[in-house]
Structure 1
Amino acid sequence: MRVKVYTDGGSRGNPGVAGSGSVVYGPGGETLAEIAYVVGQKSSNNVAEYTGLIRGLEAAAELGATEVEVYMDSKLVIEQMAGRWKIKHPDMKKLALEARDLAARFSTVTYTWVPRAKNKKADELSNVAMDAAAKGAAPGIVGEAEQNAQKDASAEKDHVVAGPAHWSGHDAPRTRFVLLRHGQTAQSVEKRYSGTSDPELTDTGREQARRAAAAVAAMGPIDVVVSSPLARARETARACAEVLGGVDVAVEEGFREVDFGAFEGLTRAEASERFAEEFGAWEASTSVAPPHGESLTQLHRRVTRARLALQEKHAGKTILVVTHMAPIKSVIRQALGVGGEVFRHVFLDLASVSVVEFYGDFGVVRCVNDVSHHR
């Protein structure tokens, strides 16, 4: 009998309270087993993910399966179990050996990565297990009655808690913009103005992009991915698209970085020394452009047009926009409905995530400069 095993695991705190979820589907797509498993009070995400795999394989064996297709949204576990990535951590080696011993019971086992959006049931079960762990439950399978009670409580909570649309009195569909700044480049290392120039990511920048991509995928389904036309943003967007399941990346000219004109490639000190009068005027007013460049007011108008076009085309969807510091500040400014002071008083780290929502013309800022995925 061929079965499909979907599995997931998570840790709140990494390490922290941890749980895993596993679902076994039969040849006709029917659900044969669901397991929510408390992993521990101080376990990592990877330990929880491996535990979910082991519980799923155990269930498949108990059901008499001979062929197993494993689906997970953990790139690490999938690549390690497929033998393409090395396993260095001792805890992971022990768990991987246990999983391989279980896999040897079947005639064939395949491992396939899927985006989190296609692994919702296992994710739900892992959260049930983490909820139980948070209440002090010992490691082990969460009972069916307790699982149902926690699912009901979660559903009731989701039903009664009102969101921004309720409190603001707006009933237009929510269009969510997940705004991701690109990773590190050589110019960002040297703190040089980088607008129209087109440097690629450094090795550090590529790692930042991979971490940010995983964080974005963990936020939930992404319907559309849009990128600035500049290489550093497109490369970061490609990393996200890969983790999200190979989705297409649309390039949007309106989200390119501000044109720094004569200041391009200079540090702040160099620009203020070479263009003292012009630099002072530029810093004093968002409506003043650098010589041969673009003012922040001009950028704001450009980004506003681009955001409105995306919102009209993808109303009610979640849109990932991979872009630069100034365009992200512009979208935050649009949601807040404030003046140009945002450009001076908000800072965005490399590969940081911000989230802004629009309900028609009403904007809400949900998150600014989240970099927890880099810690």
Structure 2
Amino acid sequence: MAGAQFIVQADGGSRGNPGPAGYGAVVLDARTGEILAEAAEYIGRATNNVAEYKGLIAGLKAAHALDPDARILVEMDSKLVVEQMSGRWKIKHPDMQPLAAEARGIAARGKVEYQWIPREKNKEADRLANEAMDAGKQGRQWEPKPRAAAPVAAAAVDEPLPAAPAPRAGWAGPADLGAPTTLVLLRHGETPLTPLRQFSGSTGSDPGLSEKGVWQAERTAEALAARGTVQAVVSSPMLRTRQTAEAVARRLGLDVRIEEGLRELDFGDWEGLTYAEVLERHPDDLNAFFGSAKAKPTGSAESLTTLTHRAGQARDKILARYPGRTVLVVSHVSPIKSLVRLALGAPPDAVHRMELSAASLCAVQYYSDGNASLRLLNDTSHLR
């Protein structure tokens, strides 16, 4: 099997996080999709992340036992493990550091590539992990089920032979993903409404920057010019974002490109009101808004789901126009939080758990394989 190409799919789970945990892994022939090996184990009390790493280790060991020289594509639905093992995210948790080191030591450097897949495409590993946890609940370890033997009798002359397994689509070893496209996400500077914490969306008074907001925009321009990495500037059409973007673009000698999809959410009847005023006048609508991404502000035509869709479309346009470049994207709280959420693969309500200050910077890198990596969140160090 020298020169083989394997696909390792791995998963882990914990019923309680931490709680009773187990992992599962399968090794597939990359060309045919045939399952070559399975591994699963109940590991006692652990977290999801520890179980996922142990599943990865088991899958790599199984592939290594089949052919130490094989090239391996690891497919997992754990964004954390994929990004950490790809080197795009740091491994800070002490429980994960030795597991990651063990995984790296199994296969030769350059022989393994990592790719995120959605959970529905990781069903075999997920099944094995759940079988392992079920076995642990019964006080035993997982045991592989015997596979049905292939028939050996020759087919009749007029009987069609069974079709061969469909080949895996086109993986030929570690790919050169090229330079990522980096979106530096800048929230606009303060407006007169910002310190009052009034709702300010896309259908209100469209305020410009306050004196402090102008100062914030100029300080941001100085900082970005000093870094020298921004190659293009894209802005929401709102006045406050255009003024912020133009301050940076002037310093960098660039033009500002307007993207309609980056505008703020339509807050409807909440425009210009404070949170306390909305809570007093529209309590049911406000509670619904924070409880569901599909709920709309009173009198608005937009929900966070709608906004996320258009912000995602705007992102895709920018990525297509500026591949491999660093782009400053000047927008608002809701679109920026939504893009960060999408990059993390976080649930919709995660947008309500982020702080985003005026003139703050976030940064997301996008790779050609569809993965994204959050590099910066709510950075205001340039304003100090």
Pick the TM interval, shorter chain: 0.5 to 0.7
Helix, strand or coil at the partner of 1:194 = coil
RMSD, aligned α-carbons? 1.8
C-alpha displacement of 1:163: 5.2
Give 1 or 2: higher helix fraction: 1
**Aligned residues of 1:289 and 1:295 also touching (Cα < 8 A):** yes
Determine whether 1:298 maps to 2:303. no
Question: In 2, Cα distance between the equivalents of 1:220 and 1:163?
Answer: 24
Question: In 1, Cα distance between the equivalents of 2:326 and 2:87?
Answer: 16
Determine whether 1:287 maps to 2:294. yes
Determine whether 1:172 maps to 2:181. no
Runs of 4+ residues over 6 Å off in structure 1: none
TM-score normalised according to structure 1 size: 0.55
**Matching residue within 244, 252, 257 for 1:250:** 257
**Aligned residues of 2:186 and 2:362 also touching (Cα < 8 A):** yes
Question: In 2, Cα distance between the equivalents of 1:359 and 1:274?
Answer: 45
Structure 1: give runs of 5+ residues left out of the alignment. 1-161
C-alpha displacement of 1:357: 0.6
**Aligned residues of 2:290 and 2:349 also touching (Cα < 8 A):** no
**Aligned residues of 2:233 and 2:327 also touching (Cα < 8 A):** yes
Correspondence for 2:187? 181
Residue-by-residue CA offset, 1:333-372 (whole Å, 9 max, x unaligned): 1211121122111111000011101002100000001101
Amino acid corresponding to residue 189 of structure 2 in structure 1: G
Amino acid corresponding to residue 300 of structure 1 in structure 2: T
Correspondence for 1:335? 343
**Aligned residues of 1:179 and 1:328 also touching (Cα < 8 A):** yes
**Aligned residues of 1:177 and 1:318 also touching (Cα < 8 A):** yes
Amino acid corresponding to residue 194 of structure 2 in structure 1: S
Greater CA radius of gyration, 1 or 2?
2
Helix, strand or coil at the partner of 2:193 = helix
**Matching residue within 199, 221, 224 for 1:193:** 199
Correspondence for 2:223? 215
Aligned residues: 213
Correspondence for 1:363? 372
Q: How does 1:339-350 map to 2 (within 5 A)?
A: 339-350=347-358
Q: Percent identity?
A: 43
Deviates more, 1:200-209 or 1:288-297: 288-297
Helix, strand or coil at the partner of 2:194 = helix
Residue-by-residue CA offset, 1:4-29 (whole Å, 9 max, x unaligned): xxxxxxxxxxxxxxxxxxxxxxxxxx
Correspondence for 1:5? none
Amino acid corresponding to residue 88 of structure 2 in structure 1: P
Give the 3 Å change call, closer, same or farther, for CA 319–163 of structure 1 in structure 2. Answer: farther
Correspondence for 2:132? none
**Aligned residues of 1:228 and 1:255 also touching (Cα < 8 A):** yes
**Aligned residues of 1:171 and 1:359 also touching (Cα < 8 A):** no
